[in-house]
Structure 1
Amino acid sequence: MNEVTIGICGLGTVGGGVLEVLSRNADLITERSHTPLRVVHVSTRYERKDLEAGGITVSRDYRDVIADPGVQILIEAYGGTDHAGDIVRAAIRAGKQVVTANKALIAEQGNELFALAAEHGVSLRFEAAVAGGIPVIKALREGLAANRIEWLAGIINGTGNFILSEMRDRKRQFADVLAEAQALGYAEADPTFDIEGIDAAHKLTIMAAIAFGMPLRFDAVYTEGISTLTPEDLAYADELGYCIKHLGMARQGEQGVELRVHPTLLPMDLLLANVNGVKNAILVEGDAVGPTLYYGAGAGGSATASAVVADSIDLARQLSANQGCTVPPLGVTPAAVRDLPILPMGEVKTAWYLRLTAKDEPGVMSQVSSILGAQGISIEALIQKAAKGGAKQVPVVVITNIASQSNLDRAVASIEALDVIVAPVTRIRVETLDGQDG
């Protein structure tokens, strides 16, 4: 069997994990790819005498790896978007097959990179860019290819899920749990991408493009973070039979595609509501298969390396069979990619959780109900606590029926203008994810 050769740009968590998996499972990988996979060249800032002793060329400059004619598959494990984009473009132009785990790069520059790869007759694979070791890209692009995907919803950032799980289970404040997540290595020193939903928006962009056969539209994803949530909100949700998750949601409707990342109340009996800690899970609804759930480790060196190596195995099979780019990156031919309209958030309809801080006076709920009713919004559930210790303010929590965001915005503005309301209204969307087996 002729071997397939690999170059790796970057030997951090992901690149190092790829090396370790390829070494540990070498015999198994050879059996499954029908040809041996061998790393022949890597770039890293550090000396690696151990790799050199094993016959691997070690360079400081990633351009040396790309220029190596002995490299057939180039794995980009550099991170970021600037240098990573340069690496991927240069590798494609050099005729290399490319694998990346870089979600930001694919979400923000993928349309250009896929076109470049098609022009040069090579593949750009990115299974590891979404949900780490969970093979959801392959499931969407291949396993569910017979289905019209109606919608998908995912807990696709482990840091945010860990924080919300701790806040709910241990009644802890957001800032305290974030500090622990950073100490454990779950969150970066600058956690903005995780807690404000940007990381999840990158992943949702990629999944939606494949699910609906549309271009990557990261610019159109509505993104809302979790930093303003309180243990009280999670406790009230629990009392009402819900769990708050930071959810990525994509839905294809007659009026357009919904692309949104935000905190969401989910009924506790849903499988997705019971995904805790740093785990990820994606629920996909297909018209033929119904709901399917994909669960597992969404990050980490080994889990991500698992997906990177899986992509490399697919490419090795392709190369050993002398096949070209066999699977379009978005699952449909470039000519079939449709520029679908994006539904404005004002027209997106969900049920709502509202938490009000009101003066302890009679008639508050009648005023609130009247305002909601004027916008066609009814109350489905209510929690109204008695004032404690002589307090003059009381929390009031309601779950509404389904309403558009524009109607809800108008109602909240009128509620906040009432003399009896003493703080901004907290609002969180509610989803039942119809079609899931509870």
Structure 2
Amino acid sequence: MSRPRPRDEALGVAVLGMGNVGTEVVRIMHEHADELRQRIGRALELRGVAVRDPHRHRGIPAELLTTDPAALIARPDVDLVVEVIGGIDPARRLILAALCAGKSVVTANKALLADYTGELAAAAENHRADLYFEAAVAGAIPVVRPLIQSLSGDRVHRVTGIVNGTSNFILSAMDHSGASYTEMLAEAQRLGFAEADPSADVEGFDGAAKAAILASLAFHTRVTANVVYREGMSRITAAEFRTAAELDCTVKMLAVSERVDAGPGEPGPGEGGKERVSVRVHPALIPRTHPLAGVDGAFNAVVVEAQNAGRLMFYGQGAGGAPTASAVMGDLVMAARNKVYGGRAPRESVYAELPIAPIGDALTRHVLSLTVSDRAGALAAVAGEFASRGVSIATVHQQLARAEAQLTVVTHRARESVLGEIAAALAELDSVTSVTSVLRLEGTEE
């Protein structure tokens, strides 16, 4: 346990990691030391920074650098730990060691939190320490604390977000330029928005971790990244953006978490059954009138829909050293104030324990693009596949091209599993040359 402090003694801070975020945290602590002391009631003092190679950080006094993070955490003059290493281990072991020693932790580690929040929260509770993680989702955008605190008296129905700047940069550029996915990925890599291996971003792994955290907070249910349905965006083409434009939509990579009713044949919420939580990350069409449609470039945004508060939007820079450090510092101030005045961070809330709905039970709208033979009965055959499965068609757009027609069918809301059956059945029709695209349509009320 950390030892009691005299009321006027500085609070010691250990920083684990000295990448872009860690560097900015140290800078802010130094440049705004006086203001931080006024806000907290005591000074923050940097006790040490754990790094891999001390020779790479010549701007930091040598006596503050260490390659032994465990020893740094164990020091009796360390009260608060900032973890910005990333990854699962050793970050998990180090955070647990800090919490078990009664030292509060601020982390930006989305991958760790997406799978181990329960373990970390239990350690914080058992040892009367705080765990803060605003920076783990959407960088500088304050969305974690509103879900935990501001909306704790409301009932959240849905959280929809653009939570990965790389994927949004690529799709925004495709929308504006008409270029291909491959071209815009290369441009994103050239500008430094995408890694040499971009799969974490474009295949939705990063978004799935963030969606798990948001869903856990919004629905008081522990959600881990492995149960999040994930679909990448590498197959999105310029043709799909043209289809989107015809419908006054654009294409975005969305993280969607929402309450859904019980599965087919199961009792509903009012009949002794439970609601479910649907959590998914995938590309989708979204109307130009939706607030997320205008989120361009590497920016992030999250829209929360609650029963009484209505629709709330949180928008800003979702990554980068300084923006993410801003969120880290906000958490650090909160944790430090708790040390000074005896407060506690909110505890993990998972009382609801809602089941996770499989993707097949999600209710969505779809846009299907087909190439069909231009002959009598073709449209009727297509419509028949929807009608036979009880799926209502909202609109059909048709363009003639020689002996074929391009059909764009927009459905009303239906279960994902049923839409999958329809897409497979359409591909088998004699009158259908190909099913060229199947995309979800999000952000509408129908």
TM-score, normalisation: structure 1 = 0.92
CA distance in 2, matches of 1:433, 1:281: 17
More divergent stretch after superposition (262-271 vs 169-178): 262-271
2:346 pairs with one of 321, 324, 327? 327
Q: Is 1:113 aligned with 2:124?
A: no
Matched residue count:
424
Corresponding residue for residue 278 of structure 2: 258
Q: Is 1:378 aligned with 2:385?
A: no
Gaps (5+ residues) in structure 2? 1-7, 263-275
More divergent stretch after superposition (225-234 vs 413-422): 413-422
The question of whether the paired residues in 1 share the 8 Å contact of 2:164 and 2:201 is answered with yes
More divergent stretch after superposition (392-401 vs 413-422): 392-401
Cα deviation, 1:260-317, whole Å, max 9, x if unaligned, reads 1111221111111111111111111121211111000000001110011111000110
Percent of pairs identical after alignment? 37
The question of whether the paired residues in 1 share the 8 Å contact of 2:368 and 2:438 is answered with yes
- After superposition, where does 1:28-427 map in structure 2 within 5 Å? 28-44=35-51, 45-47=53-55, 48-52=57-61, 57-255=64-262, 256-323=276-343, 325-328=344-347, 330=348, 332=349, 337-387=351-401, 394-427=405-438
CA distance in 2, matches of 1:415, 1:242: 24
CA distance in 2, matches of 1:424, 1:279: 33
Partner of 2:434, secondary structure, is: coil
Corresponding residue for residue 9 of structure 1: 16
The question of whether the paired residues in 2 share the 8 Å contact of 1:412 and 1:425 is answered with no
Q: What amino acid sits opposite 1:297 in the alignment? A: Q
The question of whether the paired residues in 1 share the 8 Å contact of 2:250 and 2:288 is answered with yes
Partner of 1:31, secondary structure, is: helix
Gaps (5+ residues) in structure 1? none
CA distance in 2, matches of 1:156, 1:286: 19
CA distance in 2, matches of 1:421, 1:14: 53
The question of whether the paired residues in 1 share the 8 Å contact of 2:134 and 2:144 is answered with yes
More divergent stretch after superposition (398-407 vs 292-301): 398-407
Partner of 2:364, secondary structure, is: strand
Cα deviation, 1:358-385, whole Å, max 9, x if unaligned, reads 3454433221111111112232223322
Root mean square deviation of aligned Cα? 1.8
Q: What amino acid sits opposite 1:101 in the alignment? A: A
Partner of 2:90, secondary structure, is: helix
CA distance in 2, matches of 1:31, 1:312: 14
CA distance in 2, matches of 1:96, 1:189: 37
Q: What amino acid sits opposite 1:180 in the alignment? A: E
CA distance in 1, matches of 2:174, 2:381: 32
* TM-superposed deviation, 1:2: 2.9
Q: What amino acid sits opposite 1:327 in the alignment? A: P
Q: What amino acid sits opposite 1:50 in the alignment? A: G
TM-score, normalisation: structure 2 = 0.91
Q: What amino acid sits opposite 1:17 in the alignment? A: E
